[in-house]
Every structure is written in C-alpha cells, then in structure tokens.
Amino acid sequence: MPFRSRITGTGSYAPEQVLTNFDLEKKVDTSDEWITERTGIKERHIAKGEAASDLCLEASKKALQAAGVDPGEIDLIIVATMSGDMPMPSTASLLQKKLGAKHAGAFDVNAACSGFLYGLSVADSFIRSGQVKRILLVGAEVMSKFLDWEDRTTCVLFGDGAGAVVIEQTKGQRGILSTRLYSDGTMWDYICLPGGGSQNPPSSKTLKDKMHFVKMKGNETFKVAVRTLEKLVVDTLKENGLKPSELAMLIPHQANLRIIKATAERLHLPMSRVAVNLQRYGNTSSASIPIALDEVVREGRIKKDDYILLEAFGAGLTWASALIRW
C-alpha cells in the first residue's frame, strides 16, 4: 500500500493583546455595528514585540507535544506566511533554529490566505514520495504590521496568530485524501501589498504613497470568493466520491462570516458542522485554518474516521482545498 500523510498533532497561538471593535472606534471612523454586520468580527489579537517566528514557535511547541514528537525528529519545516520576519532568510529557517530542529530542512510558502493549504499540499507530496517521514507545517501571520490604521476598509479585518500541525507518514485509509490548488493572477490587485519587493523597492515615495500596507477591493473579492469556494468544495467532494452531507466538519478560511454562511447554505450544510472563530481572531490569513483546526480538535468536535474539508481563498488570487479522513 502506498504511503499516505496524516496529521498527528495540532497547536495554535495568538498574542496576548486583544483589540476589540470598540477599541477601533477610537482609532478610525467605524463602529462595532458596522464591522460586525459586514464581517462577523468582534475582536482580533495584535502582536507587540513579537515577530512571525515567535508566533510560529509557540504554536509549534503545542503541535509537537500533541504528536509526541521531538524537534530533532522533524525532517522538514514549512512555514506559510506573507508577513515573515524578513525577506531573507526564511521564517522557517529562523523557526528551525529556535526549535533546535537540527535535522530539518526549512522553507517558506507564500500564497497569502491560501498559504496553509498550499503548504499542506506540498507536505503531502513530500511524504507520499517517501522523501521524508515527519513534517512541521505552520501558518503564521503578523498582519498588524502591514495595515494602514487610518483605512477602515482593511484595518478592521485582520489579526495576528499562528497554527501548526505535525504531519507523519502512515499507511491505511486515514489521512490526507486529496488537495487542490488554484490561482488566477489576472486578479492580483484585488488583494495586494504593492511595496517592498523588486517592483516597488522601499523608498521615500513608496512610504509616502503607503505602498507597504495591504490594499483590498472588498466587494469584488467577496463576489469571486463566494462563487469560487462553492465550486471548489463541490469538485473536491466529487473527486473523492462524497456528498456534502457526509462531511463531519467544514473548516473554511476565516475571512468573512457572510462568505462562510453563503458557502454552507449552498452546500446545505448546517452551521453546527462549520468551524467559525473569526469573531475572536479576525482574518489571520494563512494562520486561520490551522488555528480553527486546532480548536475543533481540542474541543473533541471531530473523531476518528470523520471526513474533514479545509478550504481557503486569498490574494493571488489563490484558492485551495484539502479533504482529510481524520
């Protein structure tokens, strides 16, 4: 029987400081009612004096402990992030140092909010090929560092956090059944951070024009997300011969409650089988799915042999899914 990859441990971490909608009312022209009605978000965590690798470290410790794995047993570390510590080296390499995972290779993946699922697909391929036996995959973001706190259309949406999973080689029917990755670069400007790269390197002009902050076309993104995610979920289930009713849990990217509800309604899936925590974290980009996964695992909401579907949509534009038999 060919190898399969299985998640054996989960962990998550959010910074201590909490920023509520009422706190934001004092910073920008907005209100708790406006934010809640349009997004479902009530509060988010903000990192103070912490970089992405620091968040990764705390989430990773919990995942490794849950899996009963020592850092020295990890063969590969993958960090999904668009807000890493620095352009180089990779945040994964910095995490490798902090963990003392001496035998692990390390690299980053950037697919914005879809990053964790892109990383999961890469990890699954490595393990199925037999190249490695144990992988630490982390989704971590410090989005607060890249927000214009005078722009109410973006600063109310995002928060900081990290989620991690240990993925191990296994045989049998349980584990990651399939992953699907997509992108459409023609809509790159729907969500972007235009400054700081080789196209617009840091300068007095990029600072003045606020090019180092997240830019977003909210209405356009919302329409594409709802349409794309429904098809993504249906195609993923069809590929594996399953119906939506057979899902024990849908774990979507935590960006907008209206998008999550619209997807669930179109699949005729009750919200009791949908993981939702964005009211407490906001949109933590690549960290949102692993944080939500860790919470439902620790709450005992998924059990052995349950079918779990993960799906995300983000900048690129990118979208991705993963079907797991727990």
Question: What's the CA angle centered on 221, arms 29 and 231, to 5 degrees?
Answer: 145
Catalytic annotation on 256? no
CATH number of 177-325: 3.40.47.10
Domain ranges of the chain: 4-171, 177-325
Average pLDDT of the residues of the chain: 95
One-letter amino acid of 166: V
DSSP result, 145-185: GG--TT-HHHHTTB-EEEEEEEEEEE-SS-EEEEEEEEE-G
pLDDT for 305: 96
Catalytic one of 21, 113, 155, 256 = 113
Catalytic annotation on 113? yes
How much of the chain is in helix, strand and coil states, percent to nearest 5?
40, 25, 35
Predicted TM-score of the model (pTM):
0.96
Catalytic annotation on 21? no
Q: Range with the lowest mean pLDDT among 161-170, 225-234, 297-306?
A: 225-234
Catalytic one of 21, 56, 253, 256 = 253
Mean pLDDT of 127-138: 96
* Residue whose tokens read 């309604």: 265
Candidates 3.40.47.10, 1.10.10.60, 3.40.50.10540, 3.40.50.720; CATH matching 4-171: 3.40.47.10
pLDDT for 100: 97
- With bands split at pLDDT 50, 70 and 90, how would you rate the model's confidence at 254? very high
Asked, colleague to colleague, whether 4-171 and 177-325 share their fold, the answer is yes
- With bands split at pLDDT 50, 70 and 90, how would you rate the model's confidence at 219? confident
Catalytic one of 21, 110, 256, 283 = 283
pLDDT for 1: 56
